[in-house]
Amino acid sequence: MPLLIREQPLPSTVETTTGKTAAPALDDEARRLAAGVARGEEAAFRTLYERYRPRLFRFALVLSHGDESLAQDVVQSVFLTAAKKLRSAENEAHLWNWLARVARQQLARRWRTHQRDSAFVSVGALPEEFPAAETYSVLEEIHDAALQAMDPGERQLIEIFYFDHHSQKEIAEQLNTTPKAISSRLERAREKLRSLIKRKLSHET
C-alpha cells in the first residue's frame, strides 16, 4: 500500500513582502495563543506546538544545514522557552518572528557550545531583527527545492516520517518491509537531503 505524500504549503498567516497583512482573525488568534501560553493554559500551548512545529522544523533544518537531529533539538528548545517566556504577540507575524528569533538564538548557543561552526550556517551574519515572512520564505524555498530534487521514494520517507509523524514500524508495515530496512532508507534519504540543502545554501550566499 503506497504512502501518500502530503503537501506542506507555506501558511498564509504572516506579513508578505508585498505589504499584505495576515487576516485580522489570524492576528486575533495569535494574540489569544500567546496570552494563553503566558497564563499556562495547556490547550493554548498544545495548539501553538501543533501549528508552528512543522514550520519551525523547516526553518531550523535549513539553518542547521540539514542536520535533522539538531533541528529537532532546537525546535523542542524553542517551545520550552515559549512556555516560560512568551508573554504576548501583537499579531501573527510578530508571534512567528519571536519563535524564529528564539530558534536562531538556540542554534547559535549550540554552535558556541560545540564549536561546530562548519556544520552551521553563519548565524552571526543574520541580522538581529529580520522580516519574518521574507526570511522564512527564502528558507522554505531552499527546503522545498531540496526535497523536490530527491527521488520520490526518498522524499516520501522524509515527509511521512518527519511531518506526518509515522514511526519507522508503521512505515515498514505499510510498505511490507522491516523497520531496519526503513531505518537504512531514511539514513540515506537524510544524508541526501543534508547534501542538497548545503549545496543550495551555498548558491544563496
Question: What pLDDT is attached to residue 200?
Answer: 76
Average pLDDT, the chain: 77
By the 8 A CB rule, do 139 and 59 touch? yes
Question: What pLDDT is attached to residue 173?
Answer: 92
Asked if residue 12 is part of any domain, the answer here is no
By the 8 A CB rule, do 83 and 45 touch? yes
Question: What pLDDT is attached to residue 52?
Answer: 93
Residue with cell 522554505: 140
Residue 176 has pLDDT above 80, yes or no: yes
pTM metric for this prediction? 0.62
Between residues 111 and 15, the one the model is more confident about: 111
Q: Please give the DSSP secondary-structure letter assigned to residue 2.
A: P
Q: Are residues 32 and 120 in the same domain?
A: yes
Residue 29 has pLDDT above 70, yes or no: yes
Q: Burial, 187: exposed, middle or buried (Cβ in 10 Å; 0-12, 13-18, 19+)?
A: exposed
Q: Are residues 110 and 167 in the same domain?
A: no
Asked if residue 102 is part of any domain, the answer here is yes
Q: Are residues 28 and 125 in the same domain?
A: yes
